[in-house]
A and B are shown apart, each in its own frame.
Chain A
Amino acid sequence: MYNVSFPRMGDYDVPAKFLLTHVLNVNVISPPKITERTVELGTKYSPEFICTPFKYTLGTMIECLNKGAEILIQQGGGCRYGYYSELQEKILKDLNYEFKMVNLVTEGKLRIKRINRCFKKINPKYSKIKAIYYTFITIKMIKYMDKIDEYIRENIGFEIKQGSFENIKEEMLIKFGKVRSYHELKVLYRNYLNRIRKVKIYKPDDRLKVGIIGELYTVMEPYSNYFLEKELAKNGIEIKRFTNVDYLFFKKGKRMRKYLKKNKYVKYSMGADAADNVANTEYLCTHGYDGIIHIKSSFCTPEIGAMSLINKVADKYGKPVLFFTFDTQSSTAGIKTRLEAFYDMLEMRRKI
């Protein structure tokens, strides 16, 4: 039995672990939560001007290898993300780690045949029927998680007892990881949805609403955006965020094809989520949101291209946009000052 591990992003290690354990019959080492040490390790061995998610994932990989992982799983995407796997493998091999790197995605596309081949390498006897069944459960699990997350994001700023949402969510994630059948998952989901809806909140009518858009890893991994959502919630702001795994895999494609046809800002895909973020900006501007926060990691090229368009769209609707670029060395004081000022500005605009 191999020890398998993968980089971390948000809470998605729970469904990933679930899928790999059941399908491949391997021992999954859960990637540890990102800490200062992870970032230090990642920064030390990464090229200086690589985008920041590379540093975070490399750091996690080193930590996993130190814990005894023998196989690492990495994906790729439509920007520099596509080269992560090869580069990271090279860097780690140069550091004298013995392991196998499995890249599930090449050329920005997820192909079932290729995944089949990859899985066969890890466990030649794995059952395809089982794989289909557990993939289905995993997809559902991700959908449920994202739905619950969305509800929490909208309401966490207004909870009466601090931390009540987070406690329920943490408990839910542990239970989700131990699920055995689809039926069980569904029951659990309904159960937790009910509980989370019953959490007492006080939501004033004139609350501020802010949309968060940006580069996918920085948006989804709270450590890499310096817990921006938590900071906003503390100020009693309702948060809307499009990007989550469910959206990226199942909704984005269709929505983008529709948007590219009828809008006047983007005519073709700009790589990664750039065009998507322009679409989201337009949505947020026209659906009563007070402001937009755009976050990206340093050196994220697609988002740099999107920024000028986002400015243009927001300018047309007269909505303010706050741009953040996060590096591994950002100072929290600066982020807090800007957020505070942004919040004050939204309040002032509201009063008129």
Chain B
Amino acid sequence: MKECYLGVDIGSISTKGVIIDERNDIICKSYIWTEGNPVKAVRKLINILKKELPENCIIKGIGTTGSARKLIGLMLGANAIKNEITAHAVGTLSFHKDVKTILEIGGQDSKVILIRNGIITDFAMNTLCAAGTGSFLSSQAKRLGVSVNDFGSYALKSNSPVKIAARCTVFAESDLVHKAQVGYSKEDIIAGLCKSVVLNYLNNVCKGKRIQSPIVFQGGVSKNEGVVKYFKEILNEDIYVDDNGHLMGAIGIAILSRKNKNGKSYSLDINDIKFETKGFECTLCPNNCEIVRIIKDGKKIDSFGSKCGRY
């Protein structure tokens, strides 16, 4: 029997899952859209993975990360539930031992992780604003009538990207509309958008952080060649984009679950388990906390969200 470990990264836009073996080699992987329903997405993901998994493999650990890590962690009975920053760093370090900077732009958040001698020494995450993240790009793609997947190739065709005020998503959008109405070509506008994402990221998230090469660029946006090109141009460094860059969080959490293993075996049959969450507003004090209750097979297994600790 081959021991293997499942890592699930549930992001705002996409859900990623990998199964790795003892040597961190990927046995099978999957990447699907979350579509606002993490429970459904994870069910679908697990079914895909189950089909691909060879018969002689046995799951010895499950890890979850991403914004829905707590919920899905409870659902799968995970033995490692960690934030995406740690997961990404661990995942990347297993592939690139000498990495010093990880740039990560995801659907809803963007972060920079600084690594020296194999440990995280500093990190930053976008705080107040989502300008320059994946969801911004995908919403603008819709506006321009271009699929997000083609965004990069469009951007590469342009020689003179337009300047877009990308400090704020809302202003960027109105600026973009203006530029489109003035009559700029689609390629130039898309290139301008990619460039503005890079500038915004470097000015907002990386402020005061020393970016040293080797640099690895990950997250969904790293699949966009236009953004990669402008990162290279502006930083004047070589940027390394991994084929599995979008899976790094899932790989990292799978590794963490291996380190955290407790000898238990897990099954991937979660279709029969009834799993639902119920939210309600507690009205006992003026705080009006939103309480989330997680119910598995009709039994309450956890609830969170209260400020006072009543639930």
Contacts and interface: CB of A to CB of B under 8 A. Distances in A.
Contacts of A227: 307
A62 to B, nearest CB: 13
Contact of B86 (A36, A344, A352): A344
A202 to B, nearest CB: 22
A271 interface: no
B120 A345 contact: yes
Question: Which bracket fits the contact residues of B?
Answer: 20 to 34
B82 A325 contact: no
Given A35-B285, A37-B286, A344-B82, A338 B208 contact: no
Interface in A318-342: 318, 320-321, 323-325, 327, 333-334, 337-338, 340-342
Interface string B71-100: 000000000001111100000000000000
Interface string B193-226: 0000000000000001010000000000000000
A337 B109 CA distance: 12
Interface string B90-115: 00000000000000000001000000
Contact of A311 (B121, B128, B208, B286): B208
A229 to B, nearest CB: 14
A324 B208 CA distance: 15
Scoring A36, A315, A325, A341 by chain B CB atoms within 10 A of each residue's CB, the highest score goes to A341
A152 to B, nearest CB: 18
B82 A340 contact: yes
Interface of B: 67, 82-86, 109, 117, 119-125, 127-128, 208, 210, 285-289, 307
Given A344-B83, A345-B86, 16 more contacts: A37-B286, A318-B121, A320-B122, A323-B124, A323-B127, A334-B109, A334-B125, A337-B125, A338-B83, A338-B85, A340-B82, A344-B86, A344-B120, A345-B122, A351-B119, A352-B117
11 contacts: A308-B208, A337-B83, A340-B82, A341-B85, A341-B123, A342-B123, A345-B121, A349-B119, A349-B120, A349-B121, A352-B117
Interface of A: 35-38, 227, 298, 307-308, 311, 315, 318, 320-321, 323-325, 327, 333-334, 337-338, 340-342, 344-345, 348-349, 351-352
